[in-house]
Every structure is written in structure tokens, then in C-alpha cells.
Amino acid sequence: MSSNIEKNILKVAMPKGRIYKQASKLFREAGLPIPSDFDDTRKLIIELPDAKMEFIMAKPVDVPTYVEYGVADIGIVGKDVLMEEKKDVYELLDLGIAKCRMSVIALPDWKPTIQPRVATKYPNVASAYFRELGQQVEVIKLNGSIELAPLIGLADRIVDMVETGQTLRENGLVEMESIFGITSRLIANRVSYRMKNDSIQSLCDKLQDVISEKA
Ligand code: PRP
């Protein structure tokens, strides 16, 4: 592995799943040649020599870790994950994609309980929120299907992402309060941002042009 080649290639931690589609569309609109056959690939490292990039296909929650450790120079990640993970990375750009919100959710007949329990994929976010309100709650960490928790009596409320609201509607739950809005962000490793500033800045400029056109 030659360090000269390494220096010229921008390593991008890309979140697999729902954000990838919108992120790759944005990159293409910014003029970066990403072949469409990469959209459904199971490959984890995708080389894009024409764009002088390499995509590292990551589980979304792991993107800030790859960027903090510098195995990826930059990454795309939801604000929800950034707020939860609190990694030491630069947040460069609000990409305006994958819009949704973080909310407190419950069954419609929810009433305050003596031992309130909140289930969530975001224990840091949920704890900070209820701490600020001065409410003592027990936070239970789950890894998915969070909406099950109030339905089966594990917790009386949940803190989770709401996008279309379909999951709530289909499970008879209601949004009690929205905590913050979420979009995907472009983040950078602190050292890479200095060492590869030209290519990172040039990518930011191209993306910013597309974002501004849409606004
Ligand atoms: C997310 C989130 C909600 C749902 C919200 O779950 O945790 O369950 O999407 O989207 P909606 O408002 O459009 O229905 P995800 O699909 O990522 O799966 P998970 O339950 O495994 O976390």
C-alpha cells in the first residue's frame, strides 16, 4: 500500500441502508461518478478511482467511529447518531437528506407512572433529555423495533426516530413531543481535514452547490 496513493484517495464512510440511496443520489448530482450497480452491492469496500474515492460501507451507528479513528477521512451520518455517539469529529455540512425527527412516543392513554421506564436505541439522548426536564426515568436500551416496548409493557414511553409516522400509526402509538430535527451530516476526521483539505473542501463545495440549488 503506497502512502502516496493513500493520500490522493478520499476514504468515505457511507451508511448502508436508508441513507445510502439519498447520499449516493446527492453525490451523483454533485458530479461524482458513482456507477448505479453499486446501489445493491453487498461489497463492503467500493473503489471509485475516477472520483478518487473509496466508499467504506458501514452500519450507520459505526460511521463516527471509523471517522474518529481516521480509517475513513470523512463520513455521512444522521444527526441522531452524532448526538448519541458524541465522537471527536468535525461536522462539516448539513446535507439536508434523510429528514426525520427524534421524538417521545407513547400509547394515547399514557399517564405519568411512579417508576417511569423509557425504551430507546438512543440512551444518551434520552437520558440527557429527561435529565434536563428534571424527570427521573429508567432508560432501557434496545437495538430495534422500539415501538414494541409500550405495546408489550416493557416501557411506558419510547424515544425514537419518526420519519413518515407509519410505524406509529400502524401500532396505535402517538408522538408526545418532538425533541430535535434530524438530517444527515458530512463529518471529517480532524487530521484528514488538515492533510486532505483540498479534496475535502472541493467535495464540500460541490455538495453545497447542489444543496443550495434545492433550498
Ligand atoms: C426506524 C425507527 C422507527 C421507524 C420510523 O426504525 O426506529 O421504528 O424507522 O420510521 P417511520 O416513521 O417512517 O415509520 P428502522 O426502520 O430503522 O428499524 P429498527 O426498528 O430495526 O430500528
Q: Is 138 helix (H, G, I), strand (E, B) or coil?
A: strand
pLDDT in tens, 6-52: 568 999 999 998 899 999 999 999 999 888 877 788 999 999 999 99
Q: Residue 6 has what pLDDT? A: 57
CA torsion 10→69→77→180, rounded to 10°? -140
Domain ranges of the chain: 3-97+184-214, 100-182
Q: How far is the CA of 38 from the centre of ligand 1 (A)?
A: 24
Q: Residue 1 has what pLDDT? A: 43
Q: Residue 40 has what pLDDT? A: 82
Q: Residue 56 has what pLDDT? A: 97
**For ligand 1, which residues put their CB under 6 angstroms from it?**
144-147, 160-167
Residue 163 Cα: closest atom of ligand 1: 12
Q: Of all protein residues, whose CA lies closest to atom 18 belonging to ligand 1? A: 144
Residue 143 Cα: closest atom of ligand 1: 22
Is CATH 3.90.1150.10 the classification given to domain 100-182?
Answer: no
Q: Residue 5 has what pLDDT? A: 45
Q: How far is CA 187 from CA 37, 46, 91, 182, in A?
A: 25, 19, 4, 15
Collect the ranges in the chain with pLDDT lower than 50: 1-5
The pTM of the whole model exceeds 0.95: no
What CATH class is the domain 3-97+184-214? alpha beta
Residue 170 Cα: closest atom of ligand 1: 14
The two domains 3-97+184-214 and 100-182 share their CATH topology (first three levels equal) = yes
